[in-house]
Structure 1
C-alpha cells in the first residue's frame, strides 16, 4: 500500500461489488425458497407487490391495497348500505373494492379482505361484567350493533357460561361472542362475511384477537393478517366449523 492509501481505494469498489452480488444472490435464493411473499406486502393487480398497505381486498381486477382507515370506511359503508341505512362517502375508494365487499367472490361467498395483525401489548386483564362479557367485549358488541343493528348473539350470559364450548374457549371468561347466520345458505354466508370483514378492518380499534367463520380463521397474531383454513375438531359438524356463525373474541390483556 502507498503512503497515501491509493491501493486501498482501488480495492474498495471490488469489495462493494462483491457484497452487492452476495446480497442479490441471497435475496434471489430466499424468493426461490419461500416464494414471492417473502418480500412482504399485498400484491397489486399487475402481480407486483404493493408496499406499505395495511389491508388488501381481492377484487375481480386483482388485489387492491388499502390503509386501515379506508378498510374501516369501506366495510362500514357496505354494511350500512346492506341495511338500507345512509352510508358515509366512499368516493375515494376503488369501486371494485366496494362491489367485492358487498357481493363477495363471483358464485361463492368467501374471504375477500384481510388486514395485517397489530395487537396492543399494554392491555389490562378484565373481569366479567353483569352482561357476562368483559368491558372490551362489551365495547365490541356495542360497536357491532351500531353498524349492523340487532343481531342473533350467543356464547355469553349474565354470570358467565361454563359449558358448551371447548376447554380453552374464550367464551368462559367473557371474551368471546358468536353471531349467528342461520340456516347455512349462500345469502347468510354473504351476510356473515360482511361482518367478518368489518371485524378484521376494525380489529385494531376493538382489540379483536380472532375471527372465525365459514371454515376460515383470522388472527391478530399473524403479522401478514391473511385468512387461514380453520381446522375444526369435527369436520362433519357445521357448528364447530363455524358455518352458521361468526365467532369473534378480544384480547385477554395482562402479563404475557
Structure 2
C-alpha cells in the first residue's frame, strides 16, 4: 500500500462525517424555513404555483396570459361588442380574442380563468345610500364603464334582508346580480363576457366570487379554476345562475 492510498483511506471517514454534518444542517434549515418557503409556492388548494396567471381554452388548446393581457383582452372584447373603441390587443393571440367573443362552445364551461388572490388587508365596510358597500359600489361603477347600463338586482337603498339564502352576501351589500334574460345562447354568451371580465379584473376590484351558468370562481382558490356550482333545490334557472351573473366582493376585517 502506498502513502497516497493510506492517506486516501484516512480521508474517507472525514469526508463521510462532513457529508453527514452537511445533511444534518440542511435538514435543520428545512425544518425551520421549509413551511415558509413552501407557503410562497403552494396554493391554498394544495397545488404549487407555476405557469401563467391566466389561461384561455381555444380550439387549438390553452393559451397563457399574464394578468394585464387578460384584462386588456376581456375589456377589448366587451367594448368591441358595444361598438366602442377598445384598448390595444397587439401581442394577444387572435384565437384568444375570438374565443372570448364567441363564448364557451356548447357545454364546454368557462373559457378564461385566472389565479385567485384574496387581499388580506381590507377593512370591513358598511352600506352606502345605494345599499352597497363602497367596495361593491366601485365594482358596479367599473362594470357600467365597460358594459354600459345593465339589468341589475340583489341590492336596494337601505339594504335587503330577504329573497336570498342564509348568510348571503347580498344582505351585507357586497353582492350584485347582473341579469341576462331570457335564458338563450346569445344571453349566455353575453353573460360569459361579463363573467370572464370579472375574473380577469378580480384583483383590482376585490372580487370574491363569480357565479354563472352552473359554475363558480373563487378568489380564495389560488389555482383559480372554475368549479361546478351545487345549486340548492329546486334547482331552477335562478338558483342555478343560468339567467344572471352573481358577483360579490371581499368582506374585509372588522375594525
Tell me the TM-score normalised to structure 2 length.
0.82
| 1:73-152 → structure 2 map (5 Å cutoff) | 73-108=72-107, 110-152=109-151
Q: Deviations over 1:67-103 (max 9, x none)?
A: 1111000000000011111111101101111011010
Of 243-252 and 3-12, more deviation after overlay is shown by 3-12
Q: How far does the alpha carbon of each residue in 1:187-231 deviate from its partner, in whole angstroms, 9 at most, with x for none? A: 000000000000000000000000000000000001100000000
Corresponding residue of 2:204? 205
Give the 4+ runs in structure 1 shifted more than 4 A: 1-4, 37-41
Q: Which residue of 1 aligns with 2:230?
A: 231
- 2-side partners of 1:10 and 1:168: how far apart? 62
**8 Å Cα contact 1:234/1:241 also seen in 2:** no
Higher CA-based Rg:
2
Aligned length: 226
Which residue in the other structure is 1:59 paired with? 58
Which residue matches 2:168?
A: 169
Task: For residue 193 of structure 2, give the secondary structure of its aligned residue in structure 1.
Answer: helix
Q: Which runs of 5 or more structure 1 residues have no equivalent in the other structure?
A: 17-36, 42-50
- Residue 179 of structure 1 corresponds to which residue in structure 2? 178
In the alignment, the residues of structure 2 paired with residue 242 and residue 8 of structure 1 have an alpha-carbon distance, to the nearest angstrom, of 69
Does the Cα contact within 8 Å between 1:53 and 1:67 map onto a contact in 2? yes
| Conserved 8 A contact 1:217-1:228 | yes
Structure 2 unmatched ranges of 5 or more: 1-5, 24-44
**Cα distance, 1:162–1:240 mapped onto 2, change above 3 Å:** same
> What is the RMSD computed on CA atoms of the aligned residues?
2.5
Q: Which residue is 2:30 aligned to? A: none
* Structure-1 separation of matches of 2:206 and 2:87: 24
- 1:81 is paired with a residue whose SS is helix
Q: Is the 8 A contact 2:104 2:189 kept in 1?
A: no
**Higher alpha-carbon deviation: 54-63 or 1-10:** 1-10
Alignment match, 2:12: 6
SS at match of 1:236: coil
| Per-residue Cα deviation, 1:2-21 (whole angstroms, up to 9, x for no partner) | 68633454796xx99xxxxx
- Report how far residue 151 of structure 1 moved: 0.1
Q: Provide the rounded CA distance (Å) in 2 between the counterparts of 1:38 and 1:122.
A: 23
Structure 2 CA distance for aligned equivalents of residues 66 and 89 of structure 1:
15
Does structure 2 retain, via aligned residues, the 8 Å contact 1:108–1:186? Answer: no
1:110 CA displacement: 3.5
